[in-house]
A and B are shown apart, each in its own frame.
Chain A
Amino acid sequence: MVDSGSYELFDPVGVEPDFNPDPVAQMINVQKHFGHLHVLKDINLTVNRGEVVVVIGPSGSGKSTLCRTINRLEPIDSGQILIQGKLLPQEGRDLARLRADVGMVFQSFNLFAHMSILDNVTLGPRKARKVPKAKAEAEALALLDRVGIKDQAKKLPAQLSGGQQQRAAIARALAMHPVLMLFDEPTSALDPEMINEVLDVMVSLAKEGMTMIVVTHEMGFARRAADRVVFMSDGLILEEGSPEAFFTTPQTDRAKDFLAKILHH
C-alpha cells in the first residue's frame, strides 16, 4: 500500500454512480468495420465514475476492439465516444493528452523491452506530463511497492515473471493518474499460479473507486469487483446486468451457451 497522504492514485470518489451518474466513458451508436467485417454493431455503453464494468463474450466478438476504440488505438466508422463528456479528438496532441488520461493494460503486457521497470513507469509522467525525474521516480516506486514489485524496479521486463510484468504494466498505467482504466484480458497470457496476484491488484483498485472496463473471463473477478457485466457476441452487446443476475440467469441463448462453455472448461 502507498504511504497515506504522500501519493494519491486517483481523484477520490464521493458519489454513488447509481444515484448521481457522472459518465467517464460513453459510447453512442458506435460502428466499426475491419474491411467487410462488422466488428462493433451500434454499441451503446456508458461507464460512470467509480464503476467497474466487465466485458465478457466469445473470442472474436469485438471485446478488444471495443477497448481499443475508447482510447482510439482504433478509429471508429461512425457514432461518438466521449471521455468525461468530451468527444475523442482526432490524431495529434489532443489525442495524446486524452490517452494519457485513459490507462490501458494489454494481454501481452507490452512493457518497453529495452527499459528498466522503473523507466517504464516514469516514462509517461516525464514525457507526457513533464513531471520532474525525481518526483516521477518517487511516485513510480510507491506504485511499484503498491503492486508488490518494488524490488524489481531496476530489472528489465524480460527478467520478470508474467505476473510481475503485468503488475508493472498496471503501475505504468496508474502513474498517469488515469480517470479510466481499460484492461484487455490482463490475465489470459499468464500461468494459472500468477493470475491471482494480478486480479488482487485489480480488485483493490476497484474497491478504491477506480473506473474500470475489464475484458476478462475470470468470473471470480467479475463477482468480486464488477458493478455490471456486459455480454458481447458478434459485435453486439447482447446483455447487460449485475454479475449475479448475468451468471445465474442469463437471458439469451448465446450467453447461456457461452457460460456453459467457460464453466465446464
Chain B
Amino acid sequence: MDYLSRYWAFMAKYNVLNAFWVNISLTLAAGALALILGTIAVTMRISPVSSLRLASTFYVNVFRDIPLTVVMVIMASVVWMQLNVSFSNDFHVDFYILAIIGLGIYHSSFIAEALRSGINTVPVGQAEAARGIGLTFLQSTRIVVLPQAFRGSIAPIGNTIIALIKNTTVASVTGVSNETSSTMQAAIEMGPQFIFLIFLTFALGYVIIVIPVGLLSTSLSRRLAVKR
C-alpha cells in the first residue's frame, strides 16, 4: 500500500493524461490525413489513367515497405533540418506537424490497401451502372464505389487505426517530447524502482483506448455491411 501511494506521489510529477492526449490528438490528425491520402491513392489506383495508377502503386508500396521509424527520421532530419520546411516559429509545433505528416503518409498506404480490398467487394456492375447513367469517373467513384468500399473495409481500416494509435509513440523520433513513450522513458529514468508499475500504467492506458476502437470497428463493419 505504501509502495502504491509512493508511486502515485511519484507519478504526480508526470502529466500522464496529457501525454495520452498528445497521442490521441496525433492519432486524430494523422488518421484524418491518412484517410484523405489513402482515398486519393486508391482513387488513382483504379483510375483509367495509367500514369496515375503507376504513381499510386509506387506511393503505396514505398510507404508500406519503409519502416515507420525511418519515415519519421526522414521527416525530422531531412524535411526539417535539411530542407528547412517549417510551419511556425516554434520548433515544437514544427515537430508536432511533421510527426502528423509522417504518420499520416505512412498509414495512408495501409488505408489505401484496405480500401482496395473493399473496392474488390464492390461488383463491377455498380461502376458500370454509374457510368451508364452518365456519371464521370470521379462521380462514380465518389458516390457509388467508395461509399460501398468503405463499408466493406471498415475492419481493416479499424486495424490500421489501432496500429496508428500505438505507432504515434514513434512521434518521439521527430522530437515530439511530451507524448506517452517519452514521458514513460523519463519516468523510468527518474523512478527505476517503479518500472513495473510505470509499464503497467502506460500499457493499461493503451488498452483502454484501443479496446473501444476495436469494438466500434467490429460493430460498424457488421451494421454498415452493404446488403446485396
Residues of chain A whose beta carbon lies under 8 Å from any beta carbon of chain B: 71, 73, 91, 93, 96-97, 99-104, 106, 108, 110-114, 123-124, 127-129, 156, 158, 169, 172-173, 175-176
| Contact of A123 with B143 in the complex, beta carbons under 8 Å | yes
| Contact of B133 with A172 in the complex, beta carbons under 8 Å | yes
* Given the contacts A97-B134, A127-B139, A110 and B129 also touching, CB distance less than 8 Å: yes
| Contact of A100 with B134 in the complex, beta carbons under 8 Å | yes
Shortest CB distance B211–A (Å):
29
Q: How far is the CA of A129 from the CA of B135 in the complex (A)?
A: 9
**B contacts with A, residue count (CB < 8 A):** 22
* Given the contacts A73-B128, A110-B123, A99 and B228 also touching, CB distance less than 8 Å: no
| Contact of B129 with A128 in the complex, beta carbons under 8 Å | no
- Interface residue? B193 (CB, 8 A): no
Encode contact with A along B124-161: 1 for CB under 8 Å, 0 otherwise. 01101111111110010001100110010000000000
- Interface residue? B48 (CB, 8 A): yes
* Given the contacts A110-B129, A112-B129, A156-B227, A124 and B123 also touching, CB distance less than 8 Å: no
Shortest CB distance A208–B (Å):
21
Q: Which residues B166-211 have CB closer than 8 A to chain A? A: none
| Contact of B226 with A99 in the complex, beta carbons under 8 Å | no
| Contact of A128 with B135 in the complex, beta carbons under 8 Å | yes
Q: How far is the CA of A106 from the CA of B132 in the complex (A)?
A: 10
Shortest CB distance A204–B (Å):
21
Interface centre among B123, B134, B144, B228, by most A CB within 10 Å?
Answer: B134
Shortest CB distance B180–A (Å):
38
**List of A residues within 8 angstroms of B126 by Cβ:** 110, 112-113
| Contact of A71 with B132 in the complex, beta carbons under 8 Å | yes
B128: nearest chain-A partner, CB-CB: A73
| Contact of A99 with B134 in the complex, beta carbons under 8 Å | yes
**List of B residues within 8 angstroms of A175 by Cβ:** 133
**List of A residues within 8 angstroms of B125 by Cβ:** 106, 108, 110
Shortest CB distance B60–A (Å):
24
| Contact of A158 with B128 in the complex, beta carbons under 8 Å | no
Q: How far is the CA of A126 from the CA of B125 in the complex (A)?
A: 21
* Given the contacts A91-B48, A123-B143, A113 and B134 also touching, CB distance less than 8 Å: no
Q: Which 5 A-B pairs have the closest CB atoms?
A: A100-B134, A124-B133, A128-B134, A110-B125, A110-B129
Interface centre among A99, A108, A127, A158, by most B CB within 10 Å?
Answer: A127
B127: nearest chain-A partner, CB-CB: A110
Across the interface, B128 reaches (CB within 8 A) one of A102, A103, A106, A172, namely A106
**List of A residues within 8 angstroms of B139 by Cβ:** 127-128
B133: nearest chain-A partner, CB-CB: A124
**What would 12 A/B residue contacts be, using CB atoms closer than 8 Å?**
A73-B131, A73-B132, A97-B134, A110-B123, A110-B126, A110-B129, A112-B126, A112-B130, A113-B226, A127-B139, A156-B227, A173-B132
Interface centre among B129, B136, B227, B228, by most A CB within 10 Å?
Answer: B129
Interface centre among A103, A113, A128, by most B CB within 10 Å?
Answer: A113
**List of A residues within 8 angstroms of B148 by Cβ:** 113-114
A71: nearest chain-B partner, CB-CB: B132
B132: nearest chain-A partner, CB-CB: A104
Across the interface, B133 reaches (CB within 8 A) one of A73, A91, A156, A176, namely A176
| Contact of B129 with A104 in the complex, beta carbons under 8 Å | yes
Interface centre among A100, A101, A123, by most B CB within 10 Å?
Answer: A123
* Given the contacts A113-B126, A114-B226, A158-B227, A96 and B131 also touching, CB distance less than 8 Å: yes
Shortest CB distance B155–A (Å):
17
| Contact of A110 with B136 in the complex, beta carbons under 8 Å | no
**List of A residues within 8 angstroms of B123 by Cβ:** 108, 110
**List of A residues within 8 angstroms of B130 by Cβ:** 112, 123
